[in-house]
Structure 1
Amino acid sequence: MKHETKISGERIETPVESPLHDVEQDELKGSSGRRNLIIAAIVAAAVIIGGIVYFSGTGAGETSVAAGADEGSSQAVTVVVPGSSTVERVINATGTFAARREMPIGVAGEGGQVIRVLVEPGTWVKQGQALAIIDKAVQNQQSRALAAEIGVAEADLQLAQNQLERAKQLVGRGFISQADVDQRTATRDQAIARLEVAKARLRERQAANARLNIVAPASGLVLERNVEPGQVVGAGSGVLFRMAAGGEMELRAQLSESDLAGLSNGVTAKVTPTGTSKSFEGQVWQVAPIISEQSRQGIARIALPYDPAIRPGGFGSVAIVSGATDSPVLPESAIQSDAKGAYVYIVSKDNKVERRDIETGGVNASGITVTSGLAGNEKVVLYAAGFLNPGETVNPQVRGNEQVASAGNGG
């Protein structure tokens, strides 16, 4: 506020600072100070959160603050170019152990009462070795009777031969006719025939007696015993013993159609029985010619040497090496999955994120094999792919395969 004072006719204007004027100046100074404090606080907050804050103005005392740069607005991601590696194609499956050549053994002869059983399951036997003894008391008497018949036939033959020789001497002197000689010759021949019949009947009886005992048809391992002493057995008694020829075993692995299609005889396999950490080397010796209509699976039969840990009827797992392929290999961190299946994120030439659906194969020390979906020359997001979205712009940081392998192995 201003006051005017007039002296000696001249108008003299003298500025006078009123108390109100002083208050206005103090308010202005205080307002400027508070504004500066507010700006400083905002700048500090902007630095803490790592964002970018701009203040601009044209008047005196106005401040411009910037933190960060335009290029920092794109998220930095680690990517890897997997290339292509030679990877063994391994088929993992499960199956049941069984004898490679199982032999069911029953009664081959007329049967009878079992008086002794000579083997137990787990016994190794040779071809022709007796497994069980059948009572042959009646059959032995029959054999003796047939042997006696042979003696009678031999005596009859001797008598007929002597009569024929005398007749030949007498016919020249005229004491008997030629017809008598012919008669005696026929009698001698009949005696020879009866002797041969008696001998044949004895041999038949002896062969039948030999078949009474239950014997091993081949060398191998006894798997089952289903007979006890005192039991009467015959043709309808069923299987009394089961054997594995040569003791050879096998795993009958259940495989899908696609796995069977790439499998051939002779490929190696590593078999592990359930309940043990011991593994056995085997070979595929037969691939099933048919597929089950119900399960859509077939059987690959894997030959194995004998070992007590391999028990027919038991369960086991197998890894079959069925060749090698050139495929990309990625660490587990790069592979995502959802309802549609497995996928990865790749970074395009313009640094845009793209989803790529893949199919995975076996797992080895280097990572997971990608059987389809990748050529190997793509930039695949290695970490934090779950926080990305297709179409997002990123700043890719390429990492070497050696570093990826080291990280994947805990290095």
Structure 2
Amino acid sequence: MNYETQLVGESVVMVDADERRASRKRLLTIGGIVAIVLIAIATWMAMRGKEAPVAAAGVQVPVVTVSQPGQSVVARTVTATGSLAARIDMPVGVLGEGGMVTRVLVQPGDWVRTGQVLAILERSVQTQQVRSLAAQVDVARADAKLAQAQLDRAKALVGRGFISAADIDQRTATRDAANARVGVAAAQLAEQQARTGRLDIRAPASGLVLTRALEPGQIVGAGSGVLFRMAKDGEMELQAQVAESDLRNLRVGNSATITPIGSSEQFAGRVWQVSPVVDPQNRQGIARIAIPYNPAIRPGGFAAVTITSGSGSAPLLPESAVQSDPKGSYVYIVNASNQVERRNVTVGQVSDAGVAVTSGIDGTERIVTSAGAFLTPGQKVKPELLKPAG
């Protein structure tokens, strides 16, 4: 082994030369590794610094699709909800003195014609009274016939001097009285027949039977209330609750589309009456919308309605172009400097064709049609004009 001598203070120390060289070699190796790591880190940071501006530039200048919608003819509509009912609701009760129900001839859902019998009441006593009065009419007619014959014979004898003129006058009066009694008996019979006829509960008009509230054996009278309820001609209506601000735009004859709650089926109707008053509590009025008969329209149900109250011009945008937040509805427009601006708008009719904007824009602006949720006001963009279809 090789040793070197070193003087430490007054002592002489023996140092291994090979160990010293190995230690120096390890220090050089570690230093080289550290230098390589530092160079790698510096290179990575330099490359990242060059890429960052490129990525930032990509975020700051996105390509967005814009359109200039112009003005389109759109329908002005009013939406509301309300209850379904018969347009002309006809309650049917007892017309006469009443009695016991013997037969019920119709059921809810049946169509009936004017005067058709709906139910029959017991009439055994009234039938006998009619027979008695009919017999009295026969008696009165027989008396009148006899009185007329006696008068005729007396007139034949008056020329021979057997009958005086006074007898002729008396027999004439007897004949006239007999004829009058015939009239009285006939009137009494007709009255009783009419009373008996009122024991038939009849339909006041043609229409659809909605409800029935009596059964055979039931005793009914003038105070029994409504026994049947009918819809005249089967016509129905929607009694729509319309806001005061919308009520003034409605007119008799406006078309409407009714959708019963819980159904996807729609029915055409027409406004036939607009309420002349407004409820002071909820500030709403009633628009009554006539609906032709359909089995799916059931009185007492609930339905939504869209009433077309006219038409006008307005920009028409796709739904993706209109955003909303707590401040209201808005769109993003691209100004002359290609920067995004927020524009508050008022939304009107929403249909398959798009969203009508009633205020806030005039249609000449470049409006962002999609991806508006990812933009911010003042952001620089590259607009790409959407070409109309066809």
What range describes the TM-score normalised by the shorter chain of this pair?
Answer: 0.7 to 0.9
After superposition, what is the alpha-carbon deviation per residue over 1:229-265, rounded to whole angstroms, capped at 9, x for unaligned? 1112111111100111222222222222343333333
Alignment of 1:45 onto 2:32: no
CA distance in 2, matches of 1:158, 1:51: 127
The residue that corresponds to 1:222 in the other structure is 209
CA distance in 2, matches of 1:274, 1:38: 68
CA distance in 1, matches of 2:179, 2:353: 87
Contact kept, 8 Å, 2:334 with 2:383, in 1: the verdict is no
Alignment of 1:293 onto 2:280: yes
Alignment of 1:399 onto 2:368: no
The residue that corresponds to 2:7 in the other structure is none
**Partner amino acid for 2:203?**
A
Contact kept, 8 Å, 1:271 with 1:282, in 2: the verdict is yes
Give the counterpart of 1:360 among 328, 338, 347: 347
Cα 1:383–1:39, aligned 2, differ >3 Å: closer, same or farther?
farther
Secondary structure of 1:303's partner?
strand
Query: Scaled by the length of structure 2, what TM-score is found?
Result: 0.80
Aligned pairs for 1:196-275 within 5 A: 196-275=183-262
Deviating more after overlay: 285-294 vs 233-242: 285-294
Alignment of 1:82 onto 2:69: yes
Deviating more after overlay: 300-309 vs 110-119: 300-309
The residue that corresponds to 1:165 in the other structure is 152
Secondary structure of 1:50's partner?
helix
**Partner amino acid for 1:358?**
V
Aligned pairs for 1:45-194 within 5 A: 45-50=48-53, 75-76=61-62, 78=64, 79-194=66-181
CA distance in 2, matches of 1:227, 1:163: 57
**Partner amino acid for 1:46?**
G
Contact kept, 8 Å, 1:77 with 1:381, in 2: the verdict is no
Please state how far the C-alpha of 1:114 moved relative to its aligned partner. Answer: 0.7
After superposition, what is the alpha-carbon deviation per residue over 1:24-61, rounded to whole angstroms, capped at 9, x for unaligned? xxxxxxxxx99998876554232232279xxxxxxxxx
**Partner amino acid for 1:397?**
P
Please state how far the C-alpha of 1:165 moved relative to its aligned partner. Answer: 2.8
After superposition, what is the alpha-carbon deviation per residue over 1:298-356, rounded to whole angstroms, capped at 9, x for unaligned? 33333323222221111222333343322112233332323332122334435555432
Please state how far the C-alpha of 1:372 moved relative to its aligned partner. Answer: 1.5
**Partner amino acid for 2:49?**
A
Deviating more after overlay: 291-300 vs 343-352: 343-352
Cα 1:164–1:73, aligned 2, differ >3 Å: closer, same or farther?
closer
Cα 1:303–1:73, aligned 2, differ >3 Å: closer, same or farther?
closer
Question: How many equivalent pairs are there?
Answer: 354
CA distance in 1, matches of 2:115, 2:379: 81
Mark the runs of 5 or more structure 2 residues left unpaired by the alignment.
1-35
Secondary structure of 1:94's partner?
strand
- CA-based RMSD of the aligned residues comes to 3.1
CA distance in 2, matches of 1:73, 1:111: 88
Give the counterpart of 2:313 among 326, 335, 346: 326
CA distance in 2, matches of 1:306, 1:243: 13
Give the counterpart of 1:310 among 281, 294, 297: 297
Cα 1:332–1:155, aligned 2, differ >3 Å: closer, same or farther?
closer
CA distance in 1, matches of 2:348, 2:201: 52
Contact kept, 8 Å, 1:76 with 1:395, in 2: the verdict is yes
Please state how far the C-alpha of 1:185 moved relative to its aligned partner. Answer: 1.5
CA distance in 2, matches of 1:375, 1:177: 111
Deviating more after overlay: 356-365 vs 209-218: 356-365
CA distance in 2, matches of 1:152, 1:169: 26
**Partner amino acid for 1:182?**
D
